[in-house]
Amino acid sequence: MTEESKNTRVRFAPSPTGYLHIGSARTAFFNWLYAKKTGGKLILRIEDTDIARHQEESVNRIFNSLKWLGIDWDEGPGAEDKYGPYRQSQRTGIYNEYARKLIDEKKAYRCFCSPEELEEKRKTLAKKGEPYRYDRRCLNLTPEEIKSKLEKGKPYAIRLRVPENEIISFKDTVYGEIKVESGNIEDFIIIRSNGLPTYNYSVAIDDSLMKITSVIRGEDHLSNTPKQILVYRALGFKIPDFTHLPMILGMDGQKLSKRHDSISIEKYIEDGFIKEAILNYLALLGWAYDEKTTLFTIDELIKKFKLSSINKKPAKFDYDRLLWINGQYIRNMSDSILSELIKTRIKDFISSKDPSELEDVAGEFEQKIVKITPLVKERIKTLDESIELTRPFFIKISYSNEFRTYFKNKKADAPDILERVYIALSRKDEKFCAVFIEKTLRLLSEELNISLRKIAEVVRIAIWNSKISPPLFGTIEILGRQITLKRIKEYIEIIS
């Protein structure tokens, strides 16, 4: 299979057991990139036969996360085609049909051993320090014994008969030539006693019937591949190409988990990440175009992506790097687009507050957001951070104990400075804008023989309840004359 093939068919096959996490999202994106690169198709298949772990609500969560990322599928739920259905729970008849075929051809057999019997054998061997391996007890049952057990309604699983003295070999794009002796694989179950297929069996059948040409998945499935190849061989199916993606570890080298800020795509959406930044970062988890390029557009990724460039070394999930990339995307975004994204977040935030907590900005909200955007653009790494930076524009401030007593032991006469600022900013003969505000405070600095920095500190604490704010002159303009003067007056009363 060449990377220029036009007949590429790849698949993303999640199990609905929770949210779409970073590792699964990367798998989906690499499959999507390869399909786009080769002019092929991406098939979405839901592997939902694990009853114990199945969560039906997870199906829509996975769909929504993929759609938000822009990872669209050519075939699958909602895009049905001739190779469907695309949920394994709707394909059990297919799996059972092939299982009967394998039994008829003596390539599989019924196993009537109960779970309790098998567990007892495991314990016995464990006491002897010997590894457990199914002893093929049921392979040697006579037709009469099988018939008798079936007539008695004894439950059974179906096992694949693993050929003896064979080498199972395949070439993986990332890990190279892999060889396994069939003697190291027991006769594994393909249909459970409840009638549902096991993973390695159903996956091999589905990939074959859906004409998958390249299987791109996580490295944790590398050990499953020999069993799947045995199923391919037993049924006379063509074996696809395999690419196993490297593990993703935390920066401490441990398995990725929530403590590494490895969270669901839904949480990244909630925290205000940009989808293009997430995709850009996903591409860097195990793949690299060169040693220095970090930022790519989606079109550039499609053009440059190659399976042969995937590294077998485990990828390190660096949340700080993801934050940096997200910040770069925010800074490269147009003010108009960013303004709309920020507006949506701040509206949601404001709607969660009691009306008594809000400043009166009725009729000015849209204009304020437009002015706020360039002030915060260089200071945020996520959209969610814009809320913390901008909340004093819309939420009434409450002065902390620190700032109620902040100027008691300072040389600056804060009440006098603020009285003069109040009078100067009350003038209505000039437009209340950043230029007027800067000019006014600079003149006041000269008149009082106090540095502009000191005046700015006093004013900033009065209007923002913090020593840090967006650029002061622009901040005062956006607050507006009414709110600015009200806060200055309130603070004078507190510190006098």
Q: Do strands 315-317 and 248-250 pair parallel, antiparallel, or not at all (unpaired)?
A: parallel
User: How far is Cα 35 from Cα 273, in angstroms, rounded to an integer?
Assistant: 25
- The tokens for 124 are 């016995």
DSSP letter string, 261-330: T--BHHHHHHTT--HHHHHHHHHTSSB-SSSS-----HHHHHHH--GGGB-SSPEEE-HHHHHHHHHHHH
Question: What residues contact residue 115 under an 8 Å CB cut-off, 6+ apart?
Answer: none
β-sheet bridge partners, residue 191: 158, 197
- Among 154, 238, 258, 410, the one annotated catalytic: 258
258 is catalytic: yes
Q: For residue 377, which of 333, 344, 345, 347 has the smallest C-alpha distance?
A: 333
Q: In what order do the strands lie in the sheet with 167-172?
A: 176-181, 167-172, 241-245, 214-218
DSSP letter string, 393-418: HHB-----HHHHSTTTT-SS-HHHHH
Looking at residue 82, the DSSP 8-state letter turns out to be T
Question: What residues contact residue 481 under an 8 Å CB cut-off, 6+ apart?
Answer: 425, 426, 428, 432
**Given 3-state DSSP classes, what are the helix, strand and coil percentages for the chain, each rounded to the nearest 5?**
50, 10, 35
Q: Is 176 helix (H, G, I), strand (E, B) or coil?
A: strand
- The tokens for 411 are 């040389």
At residue 471, what is the residue type? Answer: P
User: How far is Cα 46 from Cα 241, in angstroms, rounded to an integer?
Assistant: 21
Please list the active-site residues. 258
